[in-house]
Amino acid sequence: MFTINPTDPAPIWRQIEEGIRRLIALGALTPGAAVPSVRDLARDLRVNPNTVARAYQRLTEGGVLIVKRGEGTYVADQPAQPRKAERNEALREAAMRYASSAIAIGAEIDAAVEELESAYDRVVRNHRRRA
């Protein structure tokens, strides 16, 4: 599905949460589709089941996933998207972090944009390849 980066300062449960959201945004996970069981995904990612459960729980609270207890977890019929204002703010903060890092490294904006486009391509290609 996706990978976990242990060196990333972001908590693993957040990486999983974002990974699921990304797959839905990319269309790799469609409404009603079954999501891997907590134990399966934990084994795949080599992570503790509790960590996966925490991510799933947050996604369920957020209206992205639907849990059928004893049966499994599924993508909601209409996966909830953050409000426009929240999306803009989240994007702005993410851009700010990237810009700060890039400038600290000594990268010009052109290089930063180019690398960003490459990254976008890579994520989309990676998705299509595994799909």
Binding site for DNA (CB under 7 A): 11-13, 35, 37-40, 46-51, 53-54, 56-57, 60, 67-73
Q: By CB under 8 A, tell whether 130 contacts its own copies.
A: no
Q: By CB under 8 A, tell whether 33 contacts its own copies.
A: no
d(CA 53, CA 85): 28
3-state helix, strand, coil in the chain (%, to 5): 60, 10, 30
80 binds, among DNA, its own copies, none (CB under 5 to 8 A by kind): none
d(CA 23, CA 69): 23
Q: By CB under 8 A, tell whether 125 contacts its own copies.
A: no
* Shortest separation between residue 70's beta carbon and its own copies, angstroms: 29
Which residues partner with 34 through β-bridges?
74
Sign of CA dihedral 85, 91, 95, 96: positive
Residues making contact with its own copies (CB under 8 A)? 8-11, 14, 18-19, 21-22, 25-26, 81-82, 87, 90-92, 94-107, 109, 111-113, 115-120, 122-123
